[in-house]
């Protein structure tokens, strides 16, 4: 059985906010998350972010790759909160490694602005 190297060090504690409440007001959809989430342990690799060029302007997006134990409630709309208060949103569909329901890997991006 294949075991990714990233799963040997699941040491970073994060809060998982997995099921947002979606409300629509005047055609604008708003996601509302719970006040506190469930603590899970993950392997967090930021690697300095990702460069993005839009209309000739270069910006650095605060991104990371996360590996954790498999959970069916982790979806692309979920959020993670680090101990220092930074909030990240899952931007890619979580990959169920080898379809074994043991480990998940996904990419997150920092959620800035109105939280």
- Quickly count: other Cβ atoms within 10 Å of residue 111's Cβ: 16
Confidence of residue 113 (pLDDT cuts 50, 70, 90): low
pLDDT, mean of residues 93-107: 92
Let me know: does 64 contact 42? Beta carbons within 8 Å. no
**Residue 71 backbone phi and psi in degrees, to 5:** -145, 130
pLDDT exceeds 60 at position 114: no
- Per-residue pLDDT tens over the stretch 20-43: 788 888 888 888 888 888 999 999
- Per-residue pLDDT tens over the stretch 53-83: 888 888 888 899 999 999 999 998 899 999 9
pLDDT (0 to 100) of residue 115: 46
Quick one: DSSP state of residue 98? G
pTM of the model: 0.82
């Amino acid at each position: 059985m294949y075991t990714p190297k990233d799963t040997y060090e699941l040491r970073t504690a994060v809060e998982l906010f997995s099921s947002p409440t979606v409300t629509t007001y005047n055609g604008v959809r708003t996601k509302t998350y719970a006040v506190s989430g469930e603590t899970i342990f993950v392997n967090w690799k930021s690697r300095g972010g990702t460069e993005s060029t839009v209309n000739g302007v270069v910006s650095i997006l605060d991104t990371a790759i996360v590996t954790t134990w498999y959970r069916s409630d982790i979806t692309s709309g979920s959020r993670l909160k680090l101990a220092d208060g930074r909030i990240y949103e899952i931007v890619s569909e979580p990959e169920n490694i080898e379809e074994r329901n043991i480990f998940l890997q996904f990419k997150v991006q920092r959620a800035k602005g109105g939280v």
